Structure 1
Amino acid sequence: MRLLIDENISWRLKRSLPQWDILPANEIISTSKITNTTIWQYAKTNNYTILTFDEDFCGIAQSQ
């Protein structure tokens, strides 16, 4: 499974599930603040499932 974990999910999850392809959102680009749209587009382009607590992604999903 390929998971892109949002900033509100601990990167430590990556160590807990080493058999999964887990990418923390802050590793996508080197900026201090990454937008939800950037996370969405990266996940869509690279076949990741987004894991988040952020409800804003529901709005992005409905507009796509």
Structure 2
Amino acid sequence: MKLLFDENLSYRIVKKVSRIAPRSLHVSRTGLEVPAKDTDIWDYAKLNKYVVVSFDEDFQDLSSLYGFPPKVILLKLGNSSTQAISEVLFAKWEEIKLFYQPEAAGVLEIF
């Protein structure tokens, strides 16, 4: 599974989750303009088969509008450190893997 981390998350998150999602990427490493538009991130994720990970609820709106792929993991953790976010992703990994299945929903909210 490839996760694409939005700009509202530190690029350091990629290294922290590399054990469970080694092909993940931060938006800043995609070549998209900075700051990238949500629709450009959406298109990049769809074209390159990534799951978008973000705090930004606009991605939930895009999923409602366009459907999936890409799928979206919407973090509802409040102001959290990169370490705390990575720990939550590790703890929820089995749930994330089930969500990744083709027939699952387009948005997974993680609290």
TM-score (norm 2): 0.53
Match of 1:61 in 2: 63
- Consecutive unaligned residues of structure 1, counting only runs of 5 or more, are none
Match of 2:8 in 1: 8
Deviation at 1:17, TM superposition (A): 2.0
Task: Considering Cα pairs closer than 8 Å and 6+ residues apart, tell me whether 1 or 2 has the greater RCO.
Answer: 1
Q: How many residues align?
A: 64
Structure 1 runs of 4+ aligned residues shifted over 2 Å read: none
Distance between the aligned counterparts of 2:34 and 2:48, measured in 1?
22
- Consecutive unaligned residues of structure 2, counting only runs of 5 or more, are 67-111
Distance between the aligned counterparts of 1:17 and 1:26, measured in 2?
17
> What does the per-residue CA deviation read over 1:7-38, in whole Å, with 9 as the maximum and x for residues that have no partner?
01111111112232111011112522110000
Partner SS state of residue 59, structure 2: helix
Give the greater-gyration-radius structure (CA).
2
Q: Which moved more, 1:32-41 or 1:16-25?
A: 16-25
Partner SS state of residue 52, structure 2: strand
TM-score (norm 1): 0.87
After the TM superposition, which residues 6-45 of structure 1 pair with which residues of structure 2 at under 5 Å, given as runs? Answer: 6-19=6-19, 20=21, 21-45=23-47
Distance between the aligned counterparts of 1:2 and 1:28, measured in 2?
13
